Amino acid sequence: MDNPRLLLWISFGLICFLLWDAWVKDYGPKRTVETTTQATPDDGPPAAPPDDDVPLLGEQPEDKAPTITPDVQAAPRSERIQVVTDVMSLEIDTAGGDLVSVQILDYPVRKDRPDEVITLLDSDDNGEYFLQSGLLSSNSPAPDHRALFSSRQKSYRLADGQDELQVSVSWRDGDVAVRKIYTFRRGSYAIEMTQHLTAGAQPWQGAAYAQIKRQQLPRKRSFFDVDSYSFTGPVIFDGEKYEKLNLKDLRKRPVESRLSGGWIASIQHHFVTAVVPPADEQVQYRSRLQTGDVALLSAVGELRQVAAGQTADFNQTIFVGPKIQEQLKLVGPKLAKTVDYGFLAIFSEPLFWLLQKIHNFVGNWGWSIVLLTVLIKLVFYKLTETSGRSMAKMRKLQPRLKALQDRYKDDRQQLSTAMMELYKREGANPMAGCLPILIQMPVFLALYWVLIESVELRQAPWIGWISDLSVRDPFFILPVLMGAAMVFQHKLNPTPTDPIQARVAAVLPIMMTVFFAFFPAGLVLYWFVNTVLSVAQQWHINRVIERET
């Protein structure tokens, strides 16, 4: 091919199309499949009955499942306790003493509807979504997530100047008492949960558990709604490997392991609900599917002995909120992996780190992207300069290449030989333009995932009409400016001698403008600034080459 750079641009366009197509596909199958009762494996503990959410205690057989107190089976009426902090408004249900209906105050569903905020752990048209916790015991009373708790207050609020808020609910059966205590801290979405048990006249033996129950309903896809294409469902970290679990995974390979240093979570675009047990505790993790494509992920802690009349604390950390990476890293090992950068995480993570450092200095994510682009350009400057000089020489050789084509139009082999000799004599390399594009491609793709998946950039404004860098430009101004910059770049580069290739190269800026029109505005901003800098650099190099010749 006379102009290998054209092949690279076509490849780049194909990659952009694949990125575009990724918005109309999900990471895993999302169709509704009728669920059947899972058979019990011969070499493991039996599964709980399909209509029973209470997990098994350790490795007990089914006939030694945890004792359920009579008042639990009676399904007593419950009340909801209102809790408001500076970052969320939530409710605690006295049935189970669990968190329900957590509203994330600083994160509206849409920027033009600020009063409608993101809500997690709430059963609605999107299906069941519960975080359940409790205690299990085979020989003593213990409150699971269906037990009825009581509270002295009906509402709590984190006051101005107050950095910590504790909310507790109580349960008692005979001489066994349990207080479930939630600790909220200012500015944090991490919640410390402590189940404080006081044993009665007999020794108490049991364990704490927590589980996430979420229904996997098929979701209507919309090309203009990025949220509808992100993975939604359970994930698990086993201390070494992070794994997303879709319905197919859960049917073929249910989770069944005992380990330390892990956690369970349910993720969606930009938000996560996670349960992180103590890192040094051996925890039994299990998963199963219930009727109606309901995924149930549970974590049962170590079996503990509590002497008669003594107390014990069962601690767990809960995270319910946006995937703010600085907070996630403090809560659990590798919990920041819930920010799904895909296979390019090795590039996306350091890229986001640098982008965040710049943002800490300038205070605007749009200008941070501009400065990041400049830094990337400086890093690759010498490489692109070498490539630019070669492309400038190729541009100067266009009349002579055209003459060779006219001379050897009937002898392709002789034409190729003559062209190679000309390249060698003039020090031009037709492949020199390929390397910078190949090297910048991982950066481009990594930044794409950073802009899509990082909640820090969600609904982040830049200037004027760009009120959200994570979605497309509403007026398509940036894509048009980018396309115009690419036209100038095309004019500065050597024109393919083949007429068909020349026409394709001329149409490429239009194709790229159409592709980028629906990309996040932050990504278009990056490529626009990068193209403008490339145009300025190539124009300067062309002037230098003209003076030299």
Residues 265-322 have pLDDT tens digits of: 999 989 999 999 999 999 999 988 887 788 899 999 999 999 999 999 999 999 999 9
Has residue 50 been placed in a domain? Answer: no
Final residue belonging to a domain, choices 339, 365, 392:
339
429 and 314 in a common domain: no
User: Are 188 and 164 spatial neighbours (Cβ–Cβ below 8 Å)?
Assistant: no
pLDDT at 130: 92
**The pLDDT of residue 9 is above 70:** no
**The pLDDT of residue 10 is above 70:** no
CATH of the domain at 271: 2.70.98.90
In this predicted model, which residue has the larger pLDDT, 310 or 419? Answer: 310
Has residue 51 been placed in a domain? Answer: no
Count of domains forming the chain:
2
Q: How confident is the model at residue 205 (pLDDT cuts 50, 70, 90)?
A: very high
Question: What burial letters (b/e) apply to 42-60, b meaning 16+ CB within 10 Å?
Answer: eeebebbeeeebbbbbbee
* Angstrom distance (rounded) from CA 65 to CA 50: 14
* Angstrom distance (rounded) from CA 211 to CA 285: 9
511 and 409 in a common domain: yes
364 and 316 in a common domain: no
Has residue 100 been placed in a domain? Answer: yes
**The pLDDT of residue 227 is above 60:** yes
381 and 272 in a common domain: no
Indicate the average pLDDT of the chain: 80
* Angstrom distance (rounded) from CA 47 to CA 61: 9
Has residue 156 been placed in a domain? Answer: yes
CA distances from 335 to 82, 98, 230, 322, 537 (A): 28, 22, 18, 12, 42
pLDDT at 528: 92
329 and 203 in a common domain: yes
356 and 447 in a common domain: yes
* Angstrom distance (rounded) from CA 184 to CA 254: 33
Among left, alpha and beta (phi > 0; psi -120 to 50; other), residue 96 is left
**The pLDDT of residue 51 is above 50:** no
Has residue 39 been placed in a domain? Answer: no
356 and 330 in a common domain: no
**The pLDDT of residue 229 is above 60:** yes
Domain that holds residue 240: 79-339
| Residue whose token pair is 């509402």 | 155
In this predicted model, which residue has the larger pLDDT, 126 or 306? Answer: 306
In 3D space, the residue among 304, 126, 305, 97 whose CA is nearest the CA of residue 232 turns out to be 126
Q: Which stretch of 137-141, 191-195, 430-434, 447-451 has the lowest confidence by average pLDDT?
A: 430-434
User: Are 134 and 93 spatial neighbours (Cβ–Cβ below 8 Å)?
Assistant: no
Written as six digits, the tokens of 280 are 């040094």
User: Are 365 and 359 spatial neighbours (Cβ–Cβ below 8 Å)?
Assistant: yes
- SS3 state at 511: helix
* Angstrom distance (rounded) from CA 158 to CA 165: 6
pLDDT at 36: 30
Q: How confident is the model at residue 413 (pLDDT cuts 50, 70, 90)?
A: confident
User: Are 339 and 244 spatial neighbours (Cβ–Cβ below 8 Å)?
Assistant: no
Q: Which helix (H) or strand (E) holds 231?
A: none
Q: Where are the beta strands (DSSP E) in 58-111?
A: 80-84, 88-93, 98-110
Final residue belonging to a domain, choices 290, 310, 339:
339
| Residue whose token pair is 């390019």 | 344
pLDDT at 224: 55
- In the chain, % of residues over pLDDT 70: 77
In this predicted model, which residue has the larger pLDDT, 408 or 371? Answer: 371
pLDDT at 70: 34
Final residue belonging to a domain, choices 289, 318, 339:
339
Has residue 285 been placed in a domain? Answer: yes
pLDDT at 440: 72
User: Are 540 and 41 spatial neighbours (Cβ–Cβ below 8 Å)?
Assistant: no
* Angstrom distance (rounded) from CA 42 to CA 258: 18
List, as one string, the DSSP characters of 4-58.
HHHHHHHHHHHHHHHHHHHTTS-SS--------PPPPPTTSPPPPPTT--PPP-T
In this predicted model, which residue has the larger pLDDT, 122 or 115? Answer: 115
Q: Give tens-digit pLDDT for 490-512.
A: 777 766 556 666 677 778 888 88
Has residue 397 been placed in a domain? Answer: yes
Q: Give tens-digit pLDDT for 478-487.
A: 999 999 998 8
Q: How confident is the model at residue 219 (pLDDT cuts 50, 70, 90)?
A: low
335 and 370 in a common domain: no
Task: Please tell me the pTM assigned to this model.
Answer: 0.79
Q: What is the mean pLDDT of residues 353-363?
A: 94
In this predicted model, which residue has the larger pLDDT, 72 or 322? Answer: 322
Has residue 25 been placed in a domain? Answer: no
In this predicted model, which residue has the larger pLDDT, 21 or 453? Answer: 453
* Angstrom distance (rounded) from CA 384 to CA 158: 55
* Angstrom distance (rounded) from CA 243 to CA 235: 6
Q: What are phi and psi of 150, to 5 degrees?
A: -130, 160
| Residue whose token pair is 């197509």 | 21
279 and 373 in a common domain: no
- SS3 state at 248: helix
pLDDT at 350: 92
pLDDT at 39: 34
pLDDT at 55: 80
Question: Which segment, 319-328, 432-441, 447-456, is predicted with the most confidence on average?
Answer: 319-328
* Angstrom distance (rounded) from CA 92 to CA 83: 8
In this predicted model, which residue has the larger pLDDT, 225 or 99? Answer: 99
88 and 225 in a common domain: yes
Q: How confident is the model at residue 431 (pLDDT cuts 50, 70, 90)?
A: low
* Angstrom distance (rounded) from CA 100 to CA 110: 22
376 and 260 in a common domain: no
Radius of gyration of the chain, Cα coordinates, nearest whole angstrom: 30
Written as six digits, the tokens of 519 are 């990309």
209 and 169 in a common domain: yes
